[in-house]
Amino acid sequence: MARARRLGYLDDAAFARALVAHRSRTRGLSVVAAELAAKGINRGLARDALGVVDHSSQVEAARWLAARSSRTDRQVVAARLLRRGFATDVIREALDPELDPSW
């Protein structure tokens, strides 16, 4: 076990950063945080890894997912984004018709 840790195979911080970088493209931070907890990553490491993701990248991810949706009803799309773990302020900004005229 010590050898695996020394070789970098058991680096929870690196794993958390990689998972957050990958998952935050299509999921909100609450779902990503739940995934980290389910995988046994402690809260401090998870908080540090999630802290790297900024608000604007979450809004862009939500917009991208909303654009891919075949639904035109904003409430249905907002509910889908909520289930994906996006915060309500992120969803509101992503679906704001003044910022994105397609809505």
User: Is 62 a member of any domain?
Assistant: yes
User: What pLDDT sits at residue 8?
Assistant: 67
73 shares its domain with 60 = yes
User: What pLDDT sits at residue 1?
Assistant: 73
User: What pLDDT sits at residue 93?
Assistant: 95
- In whole angstroms, give the CA distance from residue 55 to residue 89: 9
User: What pLDDT sits at residue 101?
Assistant: 55
The one-letter amino acid at 54? D
User: What pLDDT sits at residue 70?
Assistant: 80
Q: How far apart are the first and last CA of the chain?
A: 53
| Domain housing 31 | 2-50
45 shares its domain with 11 = yes
7 shares its domain with 38 = yes
User: Is 100 a member of any domain?
Assistant: no
User: Is 89 a member of any domain?
Assistant: yes
60 shares its domain with 29 = no
6 shares its domain with 46 = yes
Query: Per residue, what are the HEC states of the chain?
Result: CHHHHHCCCCCHHHHHHHHHHHHCCCCCHHHHHHHHHHCCCCHHHHHHHHCCCCHHHHHHHHHHHHHHCCCCCHHHHHHHHHHCCCCHHHHHHHCCCCCCCCC
Which residue stretches of the chain have pLDDT < 70? 7-8, 98-103
User: Is 101 a member of any domain?
Assistant: no
Structure tokens at 58: 């979450």
User: What pLDDT sits at residue 2?
Assistant: 78
pTM of the model: 0.82
User: Is 99 a member of any domain?
Assistant: no
70 shares its domain with 38 = no
User: Is 32 a member of any domain?
Assistant: yes
